Amino acid sequence: MSKNSNKISGPIDDVKVLDMSRVLGGPYCTQLLGDLGASIVKLEPPQGDETRDWGPPFKDDEAAYFMGVNRNKSSISLDISKKAGQKILFKMLEDIDVLVENFKPGTMEKWGIGFEELKKIFPKLIHCRVSGFGSSGPLGGLPGYDALLQAMCGWFSVNGEPESDGVRMGIPLIDLGTGLFASNAILAALLERQRSGKGQFVEVTLFDTGIALQHPHAANWFVSKKQPERVGNAHTNIAPYDSFPTMTIPIYMSVGNNRQFKILCTVLGDKELPDNKKFLNNAERVKNKNQLRKILIKLLSDKDGEEISNKLLKSGVPAGPILTIEGILSHKHTLNRNMVIEKDGYNGLGIPIKFQRTPGSIRKKPPIFAEDTYTVFKNLGISKKEIDELIKMKILFTERQKTKKN
């Protein structure tokens, strides 16, 4: 990592990343790194990242889905399956710290540019691969998507109402969690490289992530060997920890200890409830949660949801109104925390990590396909004439190509 001369734009503004990933896990990982200051070049296949088409909604012919995970990146397109494309790739890698890709395991090796080949030329390169199942094991090399992995990794079995067959989480948390794990792994590899001077291969999979995020259900199973029940909005280990109706909007309460439960009962007007032997501690409250729920619903029936949840929160009881996407994105606290941003007509979510000295930044809105072709390759010492010739040869692309039929 060589320090650039630009103004500091984040804690890792000296890191250069080549993002050859598509869809969600990989792009989310690299966007996180870009938000923290890293320079990201997104190398798309000739057909482009398919999420550019994942709409509606669209804005200026770009899908909102794509725009949500591809800011702070420059876009180019290069056919790296061809030797001429690989020659350019190698030239780019001379000044790259991290390569992120999510090709099917074995694809880059088939092209002769797998990690083992690359490390001979670029020993300091950190190569991060995001995949469905990894490269080893009975399912190694097979494709995987978030919903499939939610089903396989037991998420359906713990999500939904008791009488249901289980439901998919409405947020692709396995994809996003894989991106988070990948960004953590890359940062750790960069730290290790400062000691060893060597790069390494990093593998992060949707399958492993889906299992790793199974808390507390896996921990409970290791101890009890019992299949957890689907409990809807309730918690398997804590009570009261659920959504509750009020006179106006529903609220959610997360009461984690006896002190909070006592405050809750006092605020709701029943100071004697904590002394009831059925509710003396969390274990008893979990055992008798159905009865407790009925009592709390009655106590909340004449309360304004937003007012009572704010009162509880300020009294030390975790509680809040159940909001819509519009509700939370326009919330005063959301705006105060800079969690909604605008950049050159692009609207997106803010950066959730706040640094005192080196805050990250939104420097570039999501790119249109290959919009940075001439800038990126001129910086590599390739002339405009050479770039134009490479475009004619279909090594570089400035227009998306039609998807190849199988």
Sequential DSSP letters for 69-116: T--SEEEEEB-TTSHHHHHHHHHHHTT-SEEEE-PPTTHHHHTT-SHH
Instruction: For residue 43, count other CB atoms closer than 10 A to its CB.
Output: 24
Tell the CATH superfamily of the 16-213+341-392 domain: Crotonobetainyl-coa:carnitine coa-transferase; domain 1 (3.40.50.10540)
Residue 317's CB is within 10 A of a number of other CB atoms, namely: 24
What was the pLDDT predicted at 346?
Answer: 94
Which pLDDT belongs to residue 405?
53
Q: What's residue 236's pLDDT?
A: 87
**What are the start and end residues of each CATH 3.30.1540.10 domain in the chain?**
241-329
- Quote the pLDDT of residue 263: 97
Is the Cα torsion angle 392, 394, 396, 402 positive or negative in sign? positive
Could you report the per-residue pLDDT of 36-61, keeping only the tens digit for each?
999 999 999 999 999 999 999 999 99
Can you give the pLDDT at residue 164? 86
241-329: CATH architecture: 2-Layer Sandwich (3.30)
- What are the residue ranges of helices labelled H in 225-318? 258-268, 282-287, 289-300, 305-315
**Stretch(es) of the chain classified as CATH 3.40.50.10540:** 16-213+341-392
Indicate whether this model's pTM tops 0.85.
yes
pLDDT tens series, the chain, 406 aa: 434 444 567 999 999 999 999 999 999 999 999 999 999 999 999 999 999 999 999 999 999 999 999 999 999 999 999 999 999 999 999 999 999 999 999 999 999 999 999 999 999 999 999 999 999 999 999 989 999 999 999 999 999 988 888 899 999 999 999 999 999 999 999 999 999 999 999 999 999 999 999 999 999 999 999 998 888 888 989 999 999 999 999 999 999 999 999 999 999 999 999 999 999 999 999 999 999 999 999 999 999 999 999 999 999 999 999 999 999 999 999 999 999 999 889 999 999 999 999 999 999 999 999 999 999 999 999 999 999 999 999 999 999 998 765 4
Q: Is residue 175 among the annotated active site residues?
A: yes
Angle between helix 289-300 and helix 258-268 axes, rounded to 10 deg: 40
* Catalytic choice (35, 49, 175, 208): 175
